[in-house]
Chain A
Amino acid sequence: MNNSDLESYLLSLDKDLVLREKSDRVSITVPSEKLLQVMTQLRHDRALTFDMLSAHTAIDWSNENKLELIYQLYSSEHHHRIMVGVYLNREAPVTFSLCSLWQIAEWQEREVFDMFGVRYQNHPDLRRILLEDEWQGHPLLKDYKDDFMLERPW
Chain B
Amino acid sequence: MVTTTLSLSSVPISSLDKRIQSLENEQSSLGTQEYFVNMGPQHPSTHGVLRLVLHLDGETVKEVIPVLGYVHRGMEKKCEFIGYRQQVHLTDRLDYLCALMNNWAISHAIEKALNIELNERIQVVRTILAELQRIQSHQLWWGVFGMDLGAFTPFLYGFRDREKITAIFEDTIGARLTMNFIQPGGLMFDITSDFAQKVKEFIAYFKPILNEYDELFSGNIIVQERLRNVGILDAKTAISIGTTGPILRASGVAHDLRKLEPYGVYSQVQFDVPVGATGDCWDRYQVRMQEMRESIKIVEQLIDNIPEGKHMVMKFGAKIRVPEGVYYSEMETARGIYGNFIVADGSEKPYRLHMRTPNFNNLWSIIRMAPGLRIADLVTILSSIDIVVPDIDR
Q: Do A and B associate with each other? A: yes
Chain A residues packing against B (C-beta within 8 Å): 20, 22-25, 27, 51-55, 57, 59-60, 70, 72, 76, 79, 83, 102-104, 106-107, 115, 128-132, 139-140, 152
Chain B residues packing against A (C-beta within 8 Å): 68-69, 72, 74, 76-77, 81, 112-113, 237, 239-242, 253, 255, 260, 324-330, 337, 339, 341, 343, 351-352, 354, 356, 360-361, 364, 368, 393-394
Q: A24-B327, A76-B255, A139-B74 are in contact. Are A60 and B352 (CB under 8 A)?
A: yes
Decide: A54 and B242 in contact? CB cutoff 8 A: yes
Chain A residue at smallest Cβ distance from B255: A76
Decide: B72 and A53 in contact? CB cutoff 8 A: no
Decide: A76 and B253 in contact? CB cutoff 8 A: yes
CB distance from A42 to the nearest CB of B (A): 14
Q: A24-B325, A83-B326, A129-B68 are in contact. Are A104 and B341 (CB under 8 A)?
A: no
Q: A24-B328, A76-B255, A103-B364 are in contact. Are A130 and B393 (CB under 8 A)?
A: yes
Decide: A103 and B241 in contact? CB cutoff 8 A: yes
Decide: B69 and A130 in contact? CB cutoff 8 A: yes
Given contacts A54-B356, A55-B341, 10 further A-B contacts (CB under 8 A): A24-B327, A51-B239, A57-B352, A57-B356, A72-B328, A72-B356, A102-B242, A103-B237, A103-B241, A130-B68
Docked CA distance A12–B255 (Å):
29
Decide: A55 and B354 in contact? CB cutoff 8 A: yes
Residues of B within 8 A of A104 (CB): 240-242, 361, 364
Ordered nearest first, which 10 A-B pairs have the shortest CB separation?
Answer: A22-B325, A55-B356, A130-B69, A57-B354, A104-B242, A130-B72, A103-B240, A24-B327, A59-B352, A104-B241
Docked CA distance A52–B360 (Å):
14
CB distance from A25 to the nearest CB of B (A): 6
Decide: B77 and A139 in contact? CB cutoff 8 A: yes
Chain A residue at smallest Cβ distance from B235: A76
Decide: B260 and A129 in contact? CB cutoff 8 A: no
Residues of A within 8 A of B343 (CB): 59
Q: A24-B325, A27-B326 are in contact. Are A72 and B239 (CB under 8 A)?
A: no
Decide: B68 and A70 in contact? CB cutoff 8 A: no
Decide: B341 and A23 in contact? CB cutoff 8 A: no
Decide: A129 and B69 in contact? CB cutoff 8 A: yes
Residues of B within 8 A of A83 (CB): 326, 328
Docked CA distance A71–B164 (Å):
42
Q: A55-B356, A76-B255, A131-B69 are in contact. Are A140 and B76 (CB under 8 A)?
A: yes
Q: A55-B339, A132-B69 are in contact. Are A102 and B326 (CB under 8 A)?
A: no
Chain B residue at smallest Cβ distance from A128: B69
Residues of A within 8 A of B72 (CB): 130-131
Residues of B within 8 A of A79 (CB): 260
Residues of B within 8 A of A102 (CB): 240, 242
Chain B residue at smallest Cβ distance from A101: B240
Docked CA distance A71–B174 (Å):
39
Chain A residue at smallest Cβ distance from B69: A130
Docked CA distance A72–B354 (Å):
12
Docked CA distance A57–B352 (Å):
10
User: Can you list 5 A-B contacts with CB-CB less than 8 angstroms, sorted by A residue number?
Assistant: A24-B327, A72-B341, A130-B69, A140-B352, A152-B81
Docked CA distance A32–B343 (Å):
21
Residues of B within 8 A of A152 (CB): 81
CB distance from B122 to the nearest CB of A (A): 21
